[in-house]
């Protein structure tokens, strides 16, 4: 039998347990929840650049687009109603993630995933059949509810299932599925845009049912996490599940004992929403707000939603614009793999800092390249070679995001909350993320019209701020068991002042280990 916990470099424990096939498969299935979010992000931009779609639902934009051949390139897509189509989904996701918090806590993580998939399925059907703007927008609201539930439950599920040493890798499966969803959407748009009869957009929108079907069915086969089982009063089932996910020959007694302690503490908490405001959770609350806010202020969704529109604006032909979205989509997927394989070794901080620096440089270069050609008038033509350089730097920027803020924006918030405030904390994370996804989706075309190439400098400025924020305020969380994260905050130069000694309740064994100078502790009784 494997031994008990050992102390790792951060001062927290390292439980025995490897990557079992069972945990791997449950995590892959759960991660497919990311597909619906990704598909959605990727599909809107392409659809809104298809002429038959614009003619049917947004004739005014269509007319303006025709005129723009001679006029200001920066402003040809600026239209509030069109932006509402893209962004309505995110408002719905924002609101629904609060309801999802209750479902996730009371019924378990699995039923939130199921509810998310099912609502998304209905939304997809409505969108594919849309005859008017109302149907389009109601469909998108349902899609949004689906995303709210999935993004609430999936990251938490993954972080709870994973052994601490592999948590980063398994959790980033979610982001990987997001990027695969975005890429699939870009490819599908590329194909459907070629349908001469003009109903290609319907296929694009209706195909959202495929990822929705996958997570809806998949979730039915998923077991719930030991953490959630204990919290909901099923201690024996929880212990059996822990044994199953860590491996039959592994001694899980210590990890189990610590889960029970965490659960006892969480039972004392009646109001997770009020509780999260307590002084001792100041660090977690700050991260739950700032990490998603910053993730969106990287400006990534300008590329993700509007890549075809943006490339079109830059003077690429319609087909070439859709193709460029495929290229950025591919870069996004492959660069995410880099973080999967490095996040538990290099740690979160190194990826954040390196990715941030890369994004800053690329945004300044892209802004400058556009400024040189279009200036402030927005009139100009981009020669082929020049356009290739713009695409190259956009790709480098996407890569920087894809191994830093993309995956870590979901991983870090899901691993820092103690059990008692985890669903509430995750809801704040999801809703802040959605709020700013909404703001950017809603404002981008108008911002481009007014700020022109300066928009890229604007986002670069934000990335400078967030990189400094990480350097100063985010401690390293790699390899630390999720129910022991308090130790990390307690030893941080800034956040420690908010946490009193008596707030640090980790399993009794930890105290024993600390006292023995970090030598391996005996297996729990």
| Residue where the block lists tokens 């994004």 | 359
Of 7, 23, 141, 304, the residue at the interface with ligand BGC (CB under 6 A) is 304
Q: Give least dist CB 287 to ligand BGC, A.
A: 15
389-419 b/e (C-beta count within 10 Å ≥ 16 → b): ebbebbbbbbbbbbbbbbbbbbbbbbbbbbb
- CA dihedral for 433, 439, 441, 444, sign (positive or negative): negative
- Does residue number 97 form part of the binding site for ligand BGC (CB under 6 A)? no
315: left (phi over 0), alpha (psi -120 to 50) or beta: left
Residue number with CB closer to ligand BGC (104 or 336) = 336
Residue number with CB closer to ligand BGC (161 or 440) = 440
Of 301, 358, 404, 429, the residue at the interface with ligand BGC (CB under 6 A) is 301
Q: Give least dist CB 279 to ligand BGC, A.
A: 29
Tally: H helices and E strands in the chain: 24, 2
Can you tell me the distance from the alpha carbon of 299 to that of 307, in angstroms, rounded to the nearest whole number?
12
Can you tell me the distance from the alpha carbon of 500 to that of 518, in angstroms, rounded to the nearest whole number?
22
Residue number with CB closer to ligand BGC (182 or 314) = 182
- CA dihedral for 195, 198, 203, 205, sign (positive or negative): positive
- Does residue number 300 form part of the binding site for ligand BGC (CB under 6 A)? yes
Residues near ligand BGC (CB under 6 A), total: 15
First to last CA, the chain: 14
- Does residue number 10 form part of the binding site for ligand BGC (CB under 6 A)? no
- Does residue number 340 form part of the binding site for ligand BGC (CB under 6 A)? no
- Does residue number 399 form part of the binding site for ligand BGC (CB under 6 A)? no
- Does residue number 328 form part of the binding site for ligand BGC (CB under 6 A)? no
- Does residue number 123 form part of the binding site for ligand BGC (CB under 6 A)? no
- Does residue number 182 form part of the binding site for ligand BGC (CB under 6 A)? yes
Can you tell me the distance from the alpha carbon of 169 to that of 337, in angstroms, rounded to the nearest whole number?
9
Q: What is the enclosing helix (H) or strand (E) of 7? A: strand 6-7
Can you tell me the distance from the alpha carbon of 11 to that of 369, in angstroms, rounded to the nearest whole number?
48
Residue number with CB closer to ligand BGC (252 or 412) = 412
Residue number with CB closer to ligand BGC (226 or 400) = 400
> What does the radius of gyration of the chain's CA atoms come to, in whole angstroms?
23
**395 is written with which tokens?**
């790709």
Question: In the window 12-51, what residues touch ligand BGC (CB under 6 A)?
Answer: 41
- Does residue number 308 form part of the binding site for ligand BGC (CB under 6 A)? no
Residue number with CB closer to ligand BGC (294 or 393) = 294
Residue number with CB closer to ligand BGC (79 or 332) = 332
Of 83, 175, 243, 266, the residue at the interface with ligand BGC (CB under 6 A) is 175
Residue number with CB closer to ligand BGC (324 or 433) = 433
- Does residue number 307 form part of the binding site for ligand BGC (CB under 6 A)? no
Residue number with CB closer to ligand BGC (95 or 257) = 95
Residue number with CB closer to ligand BGC (177 or 521) = 177
- Does residue number 406 form part of the binding site for ligand BGC (CB under 6 A)? yes
- Does residue number 467 form part of the binding site for ligand BGC (CB under 6 A)? no
Q: Which residues contact 74 (CB under 8 A, 6 or more apart)?
A: 313, 374, 378, 448, 449, 452
Can you tell me the distance from the alpha carbon of 523 to that of 251, in angstroms, rounded to the nearest whole number?
8
Asked if 169 and 341 count as a contact pair (C-beta separation under 8 A), the reply is: yes
Q: Write the burial class of residue 105 (CB in 10 Å: 0-12 exposed, 13-18 middle, 19+ buried).
A: buried
Of 189, 437, 442, 467, the residue at the interface with ligand BGC (CB under 6 A) is 437
Can you tell me the distance from the alpha carbon of 180 to that of 306, in angstroms, rounded to the nearest whole number?
17
Helices (H), 207-299: 209-220, 226-231, 235-246, 253-267, 272-275, 282-297
- Does residue number 139 form part of the binding site for ligand BGC (CB under 6 A)? no
- Does residue number 298 form part of the binding site for ligand BGC (CB under 6 A)? no
- Does residue number 324 form part of the binding site for ligand BGC (CB under 6 A)? no
Of 112, 179, 313, 321, the residue at the interface with ligand BGC (CB under 6 A) is 179
Q: Could you list the residues that contact ligand BGC (CB under 6 A)?
A: 41, 175, 178-179, 182, 295, 300-301, 304, 332, 406, 409-410, 433, 437
């Amino acid at each position: 039998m494997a031994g008990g916990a050992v102390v790792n470099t951060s001062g927290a424990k390292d439980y025995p347990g490897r990557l079992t096939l069972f945990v791997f498969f449950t995590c892959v299935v759960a991660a497919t929840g990311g597909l619906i979010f990704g598909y959605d992000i990727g599909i809107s931009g392409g659809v809104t650049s298809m002429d038959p779609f614009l003619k049917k639902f947004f004739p005014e934009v269509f007319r303006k687009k025709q005129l723009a051949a001679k006029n200001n390139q920066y402003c040809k897509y600026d239209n509030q109603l069109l932006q509402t189509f893209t962004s309505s989904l995110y408002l719905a996701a924002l609101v629904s993630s609060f309801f999802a918090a209750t479902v996730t806590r009371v019924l378990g993580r699995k039923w939130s995933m199921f509810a998310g998939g099912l609502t998304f399925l209905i939304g997809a059907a409505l969108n594919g059949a849309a005859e008017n703007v109302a149907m389009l927008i109601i469909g998108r609201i349902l899609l949004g509810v689906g995303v709210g539930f999935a993004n609430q439950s999936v990251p938490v599920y993954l972080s709870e299932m994973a052994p601490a040493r592999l948590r980063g890798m398994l959790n980033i499966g979610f982001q990987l599925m997001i990027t695969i969803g975005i890429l699939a959407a870009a490819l599908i748009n590329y194909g459907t845009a070629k349908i001469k009869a003009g109903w290609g957009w319907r296929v694009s929108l209706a195909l959202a049912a495929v990822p929705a079907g996958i997570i809806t069915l998949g979730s039915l086969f998923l077991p719930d996490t030991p953490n959630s089982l204990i919290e909901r009063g099923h201690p024996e089932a929880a212990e059996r599940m822990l044994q199953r996910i860590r491996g039959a020959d592994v001694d899980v007694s210590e990890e189990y004992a610590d889960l029970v302690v965490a659960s006892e503490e969480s039972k004392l908490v009646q109001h997770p929403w009020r509780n999260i405001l307590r002084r001792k959770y100041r660090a977690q609350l700050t991260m739950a707000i700032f990490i998603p806010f910053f993730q969106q202020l990287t400006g990534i969704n300008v590329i993700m939603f509007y890549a075809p529109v943006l490339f079109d604006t830059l003077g690429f032909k319609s087909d070439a614009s859709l193709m460029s979205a495929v290229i950025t989509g591919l870069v996004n997927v492959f660069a995410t793999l880099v973080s999967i394989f490095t996040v538990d070794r290099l740690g979160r901080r190194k990826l954040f800092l390196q990715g941030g620096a890369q994004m800053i440089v690329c945004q300044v270069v892209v802004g400058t390249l556009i400024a040189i050609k279009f200036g402030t008038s927005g009139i100009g033509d981009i020669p082929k070679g020049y356009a290739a350089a713009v695409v190259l730097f956009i790709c480098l920027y996407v890569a920087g995001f894809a191994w830093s803020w993309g995956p870590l924006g979901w991983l870090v918030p899901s691993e820092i909350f103690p059990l008692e405030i985890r669903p509430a904390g995750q809801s704040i994370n999801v809703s802040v993320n959605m709020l700013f996804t909404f703001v950017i989706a809603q404002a981008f075309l108008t911002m481009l019209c007014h700020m022109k190439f300066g928009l890229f400098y604007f986002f670069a400025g934000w990335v400078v701020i967030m990189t400094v924020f990480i350097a100063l305020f985010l401690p390293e969380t790699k390899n630390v068991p999720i129910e022991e994260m308090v130790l990390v905050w307690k030893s941080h130069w800034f956040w420690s002042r908010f946490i009193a000694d008596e707030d640090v309740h980790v399993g009794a064994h930890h105290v024993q280990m600390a006292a023995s100078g970090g030598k391996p502790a005996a297996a729990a009784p």
